[in-house]
Amino acid sequence: ESLTTRFPVLERYLNPYGAMQGGMVAAAVDNTLGPLSMLVAPPNVTRRLEMKYSRPVTTDLEFITVTAKLVHREGR
């Protein structure tokens, strides 16, 4: 089970260095993980989201593509 979304890289999302703000990238990730989790589990919220950025997102890209994939399911 997976979900793929696209988010625009807009000028208003850029930091002073010309890269998309990390919080906006994290929001794109969370806004992909959240809907997938609602499809595969009871209603829930994000408790923790840890990001490691490998390179900046710039306006060279029109969109960023985020894919969330269920790798392991564990009951509570």
Strand, coil or helix: what is 20?
strand
CATH code for position 65: 3.10.129.10
pTM: 0.87
In this structure, which amino acid lies at residue 44? N
Tell me the per-residue pLDDT of 40-76, one tens digit each, with 9 for 90 and over: 888 888 889 999 999 999 999 999 999 999 988 777 6
Higher confidence at residue 32 or residue 43? Answer: 32
Whether residue 75 is contained in a domain is answered as: no
Whether residue 32 is contained in a domain is answered as: yes
Instruction: Name the domain count of the chain.
Output: 1
Whether residue 58 is contained in a domain is answered as: yes
The DSSP bridge partners found for residue 63 are 8
Q: Cα–Cα distance between 53 and 36 in angstroms, integer?
A: 22
Range of the domain at 21: 2-69
Whether residue 37 is contained in a domain is answered as: yes
Strand (E) positions, the chain? Answer: 2-8, 63-69
